[in-house]
Structure 1
Amino acid sequence: MQLTVDTCGEISYNKDMDRTILHCDMDGFYASVELLKYPQLKNHPVAVCGNPENRHGIILAKNAQAKKYGIKTAETVWQAKKKCPKLQLLPPHHHKYKEYSLKINEIYQRFTDMVEPFSIDESWLDVSASLKLFGTGREIADTLRETIKKELELTLSVGVSFNKIFAKMGSDYHKPDGTTVISRDNYKDILWPMNVRSMFFVGAATADKLNKTGIQTIGDLARADRTLLTALLGKQGSMLYEYANGLDSSPVSRYSEREKIKSVGNGTTFRRNLQGMDDIKVAVTALSDIVASRLRKYQMKGFGVKVDIKDPEFKVISRQKQLSAPTNLAEEIFHASIEIIASSWRLRDPIRMLTITAINLCDENESEQLSLFDLEGHARQEQEKIERTIDNIRAKFGDNAINFGRVINNDIGIDLDDNRIE
């Protein structure tokens, strides 16, 4: 790697040389975060799932012990319990996962500013310009694993390679708590014998098409005729040919350049179907409160509100309303949502699930306009003070320290502690 230092002290590298890319993937992230509170369950099979009583009975994450029983993400709780009757079930706390994700990415940024989150528990790092400061790619990966283990008591697996695709596949190769280096010298030995289904971006349907043409392994894919792959799969065929041959050149974005949030929403399936406006107001009050508090956390406002309604037959309608002024106030989101529901839904019909989303977001510091709901001037400022005070109380004493009267002791399954900030 050829490094240079410019007049401003910035380290750069020769782009014609191989990059050193890391893909960092947290091990059983949701389950690992939950087990910090329950260390006595660490060596037991554990899964994180929604509340079956609220019809959220799906496995969201599992630890290594549960994985040994064949338990899979997205299967139902009863299927998982059938495989492992002693499976310990824990509820999700999405705000915790978000908090730990931010802490983890802050640690990554100690080594490079080129950090590109791929999901809440995965990130790519380009450490090409950091090698002389922190050692080889493997050494940086091992240092990251030890740092996160020491500071956060969590483990991760890291793939190290010369491109993003192979780094991603490397992080899956040795789990949990492992480092795998996939280089130009060994990628054919490591990756090519693997089933083509293991290739990044190859789903079940694509794998089936490839299998029918005789392509069973990643090596078969790499040696296939590119023209035939394009005829079979379109542009995806050409892309997969490049990936299998290590030809990916996509860059790692800087953390500061990551895409801005485009919407903020929250939805839930209720313990029982909503019947009538009284039920609807309870649900909309809670959901609007969650959406508004998230907007304030992200320092954003929405110019519009979208409501998705699902009935017991799983039919969904989606309606939205544009506001005359951007908002991050629960009161305004509530009124907009109720107006949408009242104008687009027969109130005698039951509702299984509601989702409320703030759309067309802008920075909260952008110029204020008059509110649609006449919370003008002093009155609107007072409402914002009230809602920010509620934020502060919850931050200090817990999410359920203060709630709206109509939401307390509800029987529809609203649990603010599980749904507060994702």
Structure 2
Amino acid sequence: EIKKAVRTELGLTCSIGVGPNKLIAKLAGDLQKPDGLVTMSRAEALVLFEDLPVQELWGVGERTAERLAQVGIFTAAELGRAPLSMLTTMFGVLGHRLQAMGCGHCDDPVAQYDEKRIVKSVGHSHTLPKDTADVAIIQAYLRLLAERVGERLRRYGKAGSTVSLYVRYADFTGAGRQHRVGEPMTSGLHIYRSAVCLLRQYMPLRKKVRLLGISLSDLTPASGGQGFLLERCGREERLMDVVDRINRRYGAATLKPGSVLTAERFGVKERCGLIGTYLFDRKR
């Protein structure tokens, strides 16, 4: 019925894949383009995975495929059989998702085209201008990232309870750590302190660092769950509000912590990468 409606209303052909999840349904839909209709079970998909190049899996890009090839993983089935410890060492928390995909599992829900996606985290990442193992420089970038995350949270009227830190090394391996705090927060300083605690878990650094990322999840309205915190730290909240208004008027980072200057001297790109921007940052 869908194929017939598309052809009648638009004069176009389309391919449709039906499967137990989005991963397999998309794979099935690609098998008989441009005018196919394929139904595939997970068992049928696993047979296909034996010879399917890993980059044919939905969500596995060229760079990820290149890194998997370096450790001898070329097919989807080999990805599913790969040790989870190796994948998490290479890709952090994404390793769990990659192994599940190699086994034909995908829990992502199917959303309607016009459905608003709820953002579950707000964060920033930054690729350093050159790799470094200098802890003072790394901490300066963490302060920079924490300030930018905090500013966006306050602009959205949100607060976060779980801080995540991601570190990517010069050899493109990486790992993530996270920590849940007792009270939802929006302060760049508080976010930074939590990130530094997570950074200690990476010490001593055995490789130079290439990229850093900080994000906050478990988002709640900033006014909810922070009542006593606002009373206790009213001066700090007022200061953040003044800084935000000045920076919005005269340009980002017009006012900033002095420790950020260390990162700026080392080199800062004009725009840090954004994490979790779909709903809040798009034009309404």
The TM-score bracket by the shorter chain reads 0.5 to 0.7
Aligned to 2:193, what secondary structure does the other structure show? helix
Whole-Å Cα distance in 2 between the matches of residues 251 and 295 of structure 1?
25
Residue 250 (structure 2) pairs with residue 397 (structure 1): yes
Answer whether contact 2:161 2:183 (CA < 8 A) is retained.
yes
Structure 2 residue 161 is the aligned partner of structure 1 residue 303:
yes
Rounded Cα–Cα distance in structure 2 between residues aligned with 1:412 and 1:389: 28
Shift of 1:308: 0.7
Q: Is the 8 A contact 1:276 1:347 kept in 2?
A: no
Corresponding residue of 2:190: 332
* 1:284 matches 2:142: yes
Residue 12 of structure 2 corresponds to which residue in structure 1?
190
| Cα shift at 1:319 | 0.9
Which residue is equivalent to 1:89? none
1:21-52 deviation digits (Å, cap 9, x = unpaired) = xxxxxxxxxxxxxxxxxxxxxxxxxxxxxxxx
CA distance in structure 2 between the aligned counterparts of 1:183 and 1:208, rounded to whole angstroms: 15
Residue in structure 2 matched with residue 206 of structure 1 by the alignment: 27
Shift in Å, 1:402: 2.3
Does residue 382 in structure 1 map to residue 235 in structure 2?
yes
Structure 2 vs 1, CA of residues 273 and 251 (structure 1 numbering), >3 Å: closer, same or farther?
Answer: closer
Partners of 2:242 and 2:137 lie apart in 1 by 27
The one of 384, 387, 412 equivalent to 2:266 is: 412
- Write the letter of the residue equivalent to 2:267: G
SS of the residue aligned with 1:367? coil
2:69 aligned partner: none
How many residue pairs get aligned? The number is 206
CA–CA separation in structure 1 for the residues paired with 2:160 and 2:207 = 29
Q: What is the deviation of 1:321?
A: 1.1
- Separation of aligned partners in 2, 1:269 and 1:340: 19
Higher-Rg member (1/2): 1
Q: Of 362, 367, 378, which residue of structure 1 is paired with 2:225?
A: 367
- Structure 2, unaligned runs of 5 or more: 47-109
Matches within 5 A, 1:138-287: 183=6, 185-186=8-9, 189-191=11-13, 206=27, 210=31, 215=32, 217-219=33-35, 221-222=36-37, 226=39, 229-230=40-41, 232-233=44-45, 252=112, 258-287=116-145
- Aligned equivalents of 1:392, 1:277: Cα separation in 2: 32
Contact 1:286 1:414 in 2 (8 A): no
Deviation at 1:413, TM superposition (A): 2.9
Q: Distance in 2 between matches of 1:260 and 1:333?
A: 22
Contact map agreement 2:161 2:181 (CA 8 A) in 1: yes
Distance 1:303 1:383 in 2: 18
Secondary structure at the counterpart of residue 395 of structure 1:
helix
Q: Which amino acid in 1 is paired with 2:187?
A: L
Structure 1 position 329, deviation (Å): 0.4
Aligned residue in 1 for 2:80: none
Gapped runs of 5+ residues in structure 1?
1-161, 167-181, 235-249
- Report if the CA contact (8 A) 1:196-1:202 is conserved: no
Write the letter of the residue equivalent to 1:414. V
Letter in 2 for 1:407: V
Runs of 4+ aligned residues of structure 1 deviating over 3 Å after TM superposition are 205-209, 229-234, 250-255, 415-422
Find the aligned partners of 2:23 and 2:212 in 1 and give their Cα distance: 33
TM-superposed deviation, 1:405: 2.1
- Give the whole-Å Cα distance in 2 for the aligned partners of 1:232 and 1:206: 11
Q: How many angstroms does 1:320 deviate by?
A: 1.0
Bigger mean CA offset, 285-294 vs 260-269: 260-269
Call closer, same or farther: CA 1:233–1:360 in 2, change over 3 Å.
same
Normalising to structure 1: TM-score of the pair? Answer: 0.42
- SS for the counterpart of 1:190 is coil
Could you tell me which amino acid in structure 2 is paired with residue 322 of structure 1?
A: R
Structure scoring higher RCO (CA < 8 A, sep ≥ 6) equals 2
Distance 2:197 2:186 in 1: 17
Q: Provide the secondary structure at the position in 1 that maps to 2:200.
A: helix
Give, as a single letter, the amino acid of the residue that structure 2 aligns with 1:218.
P
Deviation of 1:366 after TM superposition, in Å, equals 0.8
CA displacement, residues 64-107 of structure 1 (integer Å, 9 cap, x when unaligned): xxxxxxxxxxxxxxxxxxxxxxxxxxxxxxxxxxxxxxxxxxxx
Per-residue deviation at 1:277?
Answer: 2.4
Secondary structure of the residue that 1:265 maps to in structure 2?
A: strand
Distance 1:346 1:202, change over 3 A: closer
Percent identical residues? 17
Tell me, yes or no, if the aligned pair for 1:399 and 1:416 is still in contact at 8 Å.
no
